[in-house]
Amino acid sequence: NYIYCEAVASPVAEIQWSFSNGSVIVTRDRYIVDFKGLKILNVRESDEDRYQCRALVRSTGSFRTKYIKLEVLIPPKIELFKSEIEVVEGQIGTAQCKAKGKPPPTYRWIKQRTNQDLQETSRFSVDSVTGILTINPVQVDDDS
């Protein structure tokens, strides 16, 4: 939650932070600006931006500017999942789990009863990008 920007200068430099649109960030609400950097409280996706740190020595007018891109990571959240599907034995069965997150999540299917990773078996196919599980052919003991 802390973005560091320290300057060594004589006389002491004033640190200014701004968003990519140029608006200056001051200490208030969720932002705390101090001599070491910028702290963002309760980081959210909308905080993703390119931030500018400027060290300014007012008496001389000299300054240095650095930029940092903040990427906000979001844990996976399952949006679609059917806990039960019905398939005729011997047929092809499919199930899907859909989740959102940043970076985009990858998927693994684990058989609950045996804790077996289904990616490692021949009758099961798992698309780690789409979350689709295909069972070909479905057997009675697939029930779990």
Instruction: Residue 117: give its domain's CATH number.
Output: 2.60.40.10
pLDDT at residue 32 is higher than 70 = yes
- d(CA 93, CA 62) in angstroms, rounded, equals 68
Q: Do 87 and 53 share a domain, yes or no?
A: no
Q: Which pLDDT does position 36 carry in this prediction?
A: 85
Q: Do 7 and 38 share a domain, yes or no?
A: yes
**Residue after which a domain boundary falls, among 14, 45, 70:** 70
Q: Do 8 and 49 share a domain, yes or no?
A: yes
Cα atoms in the 13 Å half-sphere on the side-chain side of 76: 12
Q: Do 9 and 64 share a domain, yes or no?
A: yes
**To the nearest whole number, what is the mean pLDDT of the chain?**
92
**Residue after which a domain boundary falls, among 70, 95, 118:** 70
Q: Compute φ and ψ for 109, nearest 5 degrees.
A: -110, 130
- The residues, any chain, with a CB within 8 Å of residue 81's CB and separated by 6 or more, are 96, 97, 98
Q: Do 29 and 80 share a domain, yes or no?
A: no
**Residue after which a domain boundary falls, among 32, 52, 70:** 70
Q: Compute φ and ψ for 11, nearest 5 degrees.
A: -65, 170
CB 109 within 8 A of CB 119: yes
Per-residue CA distances from 27 to 33, 36, 53, 137 (Å): 5, 13, 14, 61
Report the pLDDT averaged over residues 18-31: 95
- d(CA 4, CA 38) in angstroms, rounded, equals 6
Q: Which tops the pLDDT comparison, 80 or 144? A: 80
pTM: 0.70
Strand partners, 93: 135
Which SS3 state, helix, strand or coil, does residue 45 take? helix
CB 25 within 8 A of CB 18: yes
Residue 62 belongs to what domain range? 2-70
